[in-house]
Structure 1
Amino acid sequence: MAAYIHSTVPVLPSLDLQQTADFYTGKLGFREAGRYPDYAILSRDGCEIHFWLCDDRHIAENSSCYIRANTEKLYEEFASNGANVKAPVVQPWGMKELYVIDPHGNLLKFGESA
């Protein structure tokens, strides 16, 4: 069977696109790949996260995405960049996960097989 789906791209809410870009580039090592009046694209290691301008913090605080990654290396990097993160934890479902909450409440779950 041919593969018709090539990748997924989370689209998360942002209360302030500049603050979002500053956090993701400064603390998490992303780079800004595109900016528009109500939209921003950030990328790292071949992955993208898109952000749409939103004025409701409740939406951001109830949004999340899952990113497969090397949790230990990212933990070390994020912590050295001043991000408020706790060490990765092995979850009952067999994944080692690192959680990051951005300034607007979006939850990023970085995970890998334990």
Structure 2
Amino acid sequence: MRKQKPMSFEDLLKELQGQKDVQEDPSHVSLETLFHDSFMRKHTRSNSFAEFLEKGNFKVQTREDIQDIPDEFFDRHVARDTDFANWQKMLDTATAEYGAK
């Protein structure tokens, strides 16, 4: 099984804005699917991925917004608001749970 490439902040932004071209990557899974509400309720203190971003005061609406978020701030928010130590572990777990379905 091929390991899924970590999602960049630029990809995250495109996904949140609904601009990600699914045909670009046939194995692509949307963030709404990957971080579905029950995953978020199980592993975080948020009811949705949008709420999770809002709690971290991340205003993600433009490419500049996402690029301006230092990795350390996002990792700190993940560590504070979830069961995970950092964004990569959260993404890996969501990907693994999705793959197990």
TM-score when normalising by structure 2: 0.30
Which entry has the higher C-alpha Rg, 1 or 2?
1
Considering fraction of residues, name the structure with more strand: 1
Structure with more helix by fraction: 2
Q: TM-score, normalised by structure 1?
A: 0.28
